[in-house]
Amino acid sequence: MAAGLELQGVVAGYGQGDILRGLDLDVPAGRITCLIGPNGSGKSTVLRVISGLLAPRAGHVLLAGRKVTGCSPSAMLGHGVAHVPQERSLFPAMSVWDNVLMGAYINHDRDAVARRATEIAQRFPIVARRRHDLAGSLSGGEQKTVEIARSMMLDPPVLCFDEPSIGLEPRARRMIFGILDELRRDGRTILLVEQNARSGLAVAQDGAVLEAGVIRLAAPAGQLLDSPEVGRLYLGAS
């Protein structure tokens, strides 16, 4: 299942401005890579380029060694890349079950979708327990869990998460990071952007520091956690 991601010399931005300025990033297969950096450094833009929401002006995106640069979001889903955005993305006036089904919108085989939804409900009990409830009635941690469950409907080998713990209380944060670790142990490749850099690096195997649109440092996550300079700049250490 594992498939690695690679960005080579990616230049991308909005309007006339470039946020990413020749970014090179390696996301090894079957591991969690945590991308950290200051606000405005381009972390979310990296995910948007990978998921097809933003076409780069230059450079390449490779999935398992194959160029997928500039593919549409639907095409990237078809290639096995799912993106869970930072903002709450459930449809609050729809049921939990219908929200989960939306994760397979590019699959027109209704029987296959129903079978997959049943599998998802077994893995994520909240989907079965709250299936008839409106998604907007769930707590923040419950909504994020359902968002992750929805992203699994196409059984993607690659998952991109944009600050999944933002706005969650400590217990919910621990639960979400636990889910990410389980997905990694399934053999999935995960690129994690996380505002709580210390927690993100703690669950990751690899880390990268993004600053001004380029990767300034890439190293094993534990090494970044132990780095006094990284700690001073990004982890709140003295």
Kindly report the average pLDDT of the chain as a whole number.
Answer: 93
Q: Which domains does the chain have, with CATH numbers?
A: 5-88+156-235 (3.40.50.300)
Return the percent helix, strand and coil in the chain, to nearest 5. Answer: 40, 25, 35
The residue among 158, 176, 160 whose CA lies nearest residue 168 is 176
Cα 104–chain centre separation: 17
38-85 confidence digits (pLDDT tens):
888 899 999 999 999 999 999 999 999 999 999 999 999 999 999 999
Asked which of 39-43, 61-65, 179-183, 201-205 is least confident by mean pLDDT, the reply is 39-43
Task: Report the amino acid identity of residue 40.
Answer: G
Strand bridging mode 66-67 / 81-84 = unpaired
Cα 81–chain centre separation: 9
